[in-house]
Chain A
Amino acid sequence: MLSVSAHELKKNYGAVKALKGISFDVSEGEIFGFIGPDGAGKSSLFRILTTLLLPDAGQASVCGLDVVKDYKKIRKIIGYMPGKFSLYQDLSVEENLSFFASVFETTIESNYHLIKEIYSHIEPFKKRRAGQLSGGMKQKLALSCALIHKPNVLFMDEPTTGIDAVSRKEFWSMLKGLKKEGISIVVSTPYMDEASLCDRVALLQDGIILKTDTPNAITDTIGKKVWAISSESVYKLMCDLSGYGGCYSVYPFGQMVHYMPADQSEELTLVENFLKERNHRNISIEIIEPTVEDCFMELMRINKEDKR
């Protein structure tokens, strides 16, 4: 059975079209990621799937239950972590957890095995008020609270936004652990590097899904190599390369730029010489496999051209 299924979901806020027809399926025990920038429609989509918002058009179901008609049943079997930290800041870690356990008519003890790996990180601080926890610890607590009733499907809206790199890694390894428990996970993130940690991802932009596939398949379909170029000034590299005749696209990527030539057989040395002429020093050019982010930029570009 499909854990989540959506067909042509649409949602408008007045004149603003947040979702313009979203369709996808999530299999049981899958980690399904929505990757997209702020404002792509991720939160609206999650709120529809968690029965908090009504779609203007289209259907969606969770574990075979309709999100509009069967909302009461769905609320018993899903876990939800909203994008904003939504626990009681004036309650301690332990009080929050036991409150949410009681809401689902269960106890911390009976499902402790499920949250043990996550909760053990914050258990030493269980007397501390939730409002005084660090960002990473808050999210671990929120995850524990969302899991305490052993949901079939877990929805997490940007769980790693605003927390440090180490906590983010820990968080994802916890999700892998939950997968083993048979819990399907639907997660959204604005961080492209987290895409490779999902079983499948959907690239979301302006209320439409650009592509849905496994991370590897997505990077394969682009069919182009990417050049990672660095020199002393990223800014100058950007300016010069975008003025270069054989340039197809160029994006800044950390301390480097990712460059795609219009002609895949373009000689590497030609570009290097061009950059040397422009007084770049310490030039390094490396041909790499495209990342999900490269694909995202490429798909966005194609999507924009289609519209024209």
Chain B
Amino acid sequence: MDAKLVNPFVDAFTTVMPQMGFPEPKRLKMNVREQNAVSKGVSVIVGFTKQIRGNVVYNMTEDTAKFIASTMMMGMPVAEFDAMAQSAISEMSNMLTANAATNLTGMGLEVDISTPSLSIGENFQVKISDAQYLTVEMDLAGHVVELDIAVEQQ
């Protein structure tokens, strides 16, 4: 896939997260991957259609997911990754992807996004592409959120 399509996702992350009360995220590393992603515990998939087709996965540990949910809910303690916390992470994924979609539109690409699907479990595999795709790790106040980006321009 084209590396220029990664920036809209990274920019969305660095723009949206501070608006929800997080410190400025830092981009850690970017890799090309061929195999399936292994979930860190919580993985949210959002799909794209129209001029961009593919999927993005927000992959994080349950601890990170709880930290994010708690911050989004104004510091409310989140002991269990329950329905409310799951809803917060889904919402975050939706906001990040919608923002990335807006960035892609700014590049002249018409896109539509699906609703997020949030999966929870241990060591399950996530396959989003038959080909190579890119992963970017973002540091969020010491927590790591991995973005797996497999999108192609039509």
- Do A and B assemble together? no
> Which residues of B are in contact with A by a Cβ distance under 8 Å?
none
> Which residues of A are in contact with B by a Cβ distance under 8 Å?
none
